[in-house]
Amino acid sequence: MRIAALADLHFSPQSYDRIRDAMNRLRDEADVLVLAGDITNYGKPEEMESMLNSIMRIRIPIVAVLGNHDYEGGQAAELSKLMIAEGVKLLDGSGYERDSVGFAGTKGFLGGFGRGVLTAFGEPEVKTFVQLAIDETLKLERALSMLRTEKRVVITHYAPVVDTVRGEPEQIYPYLGSGRLAEVIDRHQALLAVHGHAHHGALEGKTTGGVPVYNVAMPLLMTRTPAVPYRLFDI
């Protein structure tokens, strides 16, 4: 299987026009398209409808998770319904198997990495914040546990490792992902993981257990030469 992955599309008709030709080539280059969150810009249903009208013309199976921008409008449930109605495999603590490859996905959350991971100590607000990160980690655990395939691909929006956020200001690392996700990725021996969110991070990294992690944020991918809005993986 050949997988094309991108994140942080932040869809608008004008921005999509700039990548339309490249996206139209996808059908000849990949078997599955992965969207790792921030599909819309402000989380509005009309943005999602416009995006789906454009991207479904490619006629390629799509597996996706939502990102923080998709929650901005408070209508994530409506966005999800629109995607599912068009046949998109939307993952939220769930798994999907296709041609002996399993996909496990969830949005993820922030919280930091390594010794900098925020812990549930002190004010109730801090404990609530940390619990959200733990809940997303448990959702990924559940998704991976559901898969029966040996080949497993993890999709999150937030980064699971610090490697792929380097390049962003160090002060905001804790807001770009959570190292808790990487522990689950290693425990279930995923083949690779993809994420977005860190527009100015690094393209590649690894978990402690050696699982390759790829930042597929489209603004980052477009800095490559040639500028292509997605990254291809052979599984």
Residue with token string 């046949």: 87
Q: How many domains does one find in the chain?
A: 1
Average pLDDT, stretch 33-59?
96
pLDDT given for residue 221 in this prediction? 98
pLDDT given for residue 162 in this prediction? 98
Average pLDDT, stretch 137-145?
98
Euclidean distance between CA atoms 116 and 104, whole angstroms = 26
Euclidean distance between CA atoms 105 and 126, whole angstroms = 25
Please report which helix (H) or strand (E) contains residue 195, including its range: strand 192-195
Domain harbouring 60, CATH code: 3.60.21.10
Q: What is the pLDDT of residues 214-229, one digit of tens each?
A: 999 999 999 999 999 9
pLDDT given for residue 36 in this prediction? 98
Judge whether 211 and 185 are in contact, CB under 8 Å: yes
pLDDT given for residue 66 in this prediction? 98
pLDDT given for residue 112 in this prediction? 96
pLDDT given for residue 140 in this prediction? 98
Letter string b/e over residues 31-50, b meaning 16 or more CB atoms within 10 A of that residue's CB = bbbbbbbbbbbebbeebbeb
pLDDT given for residue 184 in this prediction? 98
Q: Measuring CA to CA, which residue among 27, 230, 211, 29 is closest to residue 104? A: 211
pLDDT given for residue 124 in this prediction? 96
Q: What does R_g of the chain's alpha carbons equal in angstroms?
A: 17
Bridge partners of residue 62, in order along the sequence: 33
In the Cβ-directed half-sphere of 10, how many Cα atoms lie within 13 Å? 12
pLDDT given for residue 190 in this prediction? 97
State the pTM of this model.
0.97
CA torsion 85→216→76→129, rounded to 10°? 150
pLDDT given for residue 119 in this prediction? 93
Phi and psi at 19, nearest 5°, equal -115, 5
pLDDT given for residue 75 in this prediction? 98
DSSP characters for 121-141?
-SSHHHHHHHHHHHHHHHHHH
Average pLDDT, stretch 19-45?
96
Q: What is the pLDDT of residues 151-205, one digit of tens each?
A: 999 999 999 999 999 999 999 999 999 999 999 999 999 999 999 999 999 999 9
Range of the domain at 206: 2-234
